[in-house]
Amino acid sequence: MNDSDGPPGPTGLKGVLESPIVGMSPWIVFSLVVGPGRFEIAVALALACTVVLLAAGRLLNRGSSWKILEVSDLVFFAGLAVVGALAGQGTLRWLETYAGEVSNIALVVIAFGSMAVGMPFTLQYAREQVDPSHWHTPEFLRTNHVITGVWGLTFLVAAVSGAYGDIVLRDPNDLWTGWIIQILAIVAAIRFTDWYRRWSGPGSCGSAGSRSPRSPGSPACCCPWPACSCRWGSPSSSSRTPGAVCPSSRSAPYSPRSCVTDPRTPWAREGR
């Protein structure tokens, strides 16, 4: 897809608010903060984060659609706030211990449930960043299924880790099960999301549309599949289109820069 194909995706603060990772931030905050004596503050922080993000999203991105994740954020944390206000001490103690696992399992259900109905929750965010001509392509749909699935597995790991600390170790504040494993899983999912959407987005080396050689100046990836490593600066003269410059991975997600030609530079590394 050329940069001129349709309106560009939102940038700056608007672009940040249209990220599914931002939509998951209330859940991440809640699962990391909640614990014995911290249920009320965890709910308050998550609900405040949800309200601020919703308000900012509606103000800065007028006309933006409501997302599955946004609605889930509001319903889940508003519900927990009501339960926490009405619950007795026994219920509060249970929530302080297990609410982190409950929230992670809820996200697992949202992730895999949205995939089961054909609407992975990242799809709604991604559609606002690409030209409508890509919305129903197999590559675009597969990318969002993969990314949503990875986040579902990430929160499953967090739920299992937290449950192990609570039930087996009987220590909700255990450093490894309550913090390190869960944070590492989230960081890994963020890194994978960034890498995979660049690798598999329209016109990238990983998309099906780029699995054949392109002529100089082609808007798709200039590197034929499977030897696409010029994105990482290791071209091979036997498998590249002369005069081609690979798209930059620093361009907007799902919208790699068009390939260009330069007779003075038969092979150009990304970013030069």
What are the DSSP calls for the chain, one per residue?
A: --TTSSPPPP-HHHHHHT-HHHHHHHHHHHHHH-STT-HHHHHHHHHHHHHHHHHHHHHHSTTPPPPHHHHHHHHHHHHHHHHHHH--HHHHHHHHHHHHHHHHHHHHHHHHHHHHTT--HHHHHHHTTS-GGGTT-HHHHHHHHHHHHHHHHHHHHHHHHHHIIIIIS--TT-HIIIIIHHHHHHHHHHHHHHHHHHHHSTTSTTSGGGSS---TT-SS-SS-SS--GGGGT---TTSS-TTEEPPPTTS-TT-PPPPEE-TT-SEE-TT-
Q: Note the pLDDT of residue 183.
A: 93
Q: Note the pLDDT of residue 172.
A: 84
Q: Note the pLDDT of residue 182.
A: 92
Q: Note the pLDDT of residue 240.
A: 40
Q: Note the pLDDT of residue 265.
A: 31
Q: Note the pLDDT of residue 173.
A: 84
pLDDT digit string (tens) for the chain, length 272 residues: 334 344 444 555 665 666 788 888 999 899 888 888 899 999 999 999 999 988 888 888 777 778 889 999 999 999 999 999 998 999 999 998 999 999 999 999 999 999 999 999 999 888 888 888 888 999 999 999 999 999 999 999 999 999 999 999 989 889 999 889 999 999 999 999 989 978 875 544 445 444 433 333 333 343 333 333 333 333 433 334 444 444 444 344 433 333 333 333 333 333 33
Output the pTM of the full model.
0.68
Q: Note the pLDDT of residue 11.
A: 52
Q: Note the pLDDT of residue 14.
A: 62
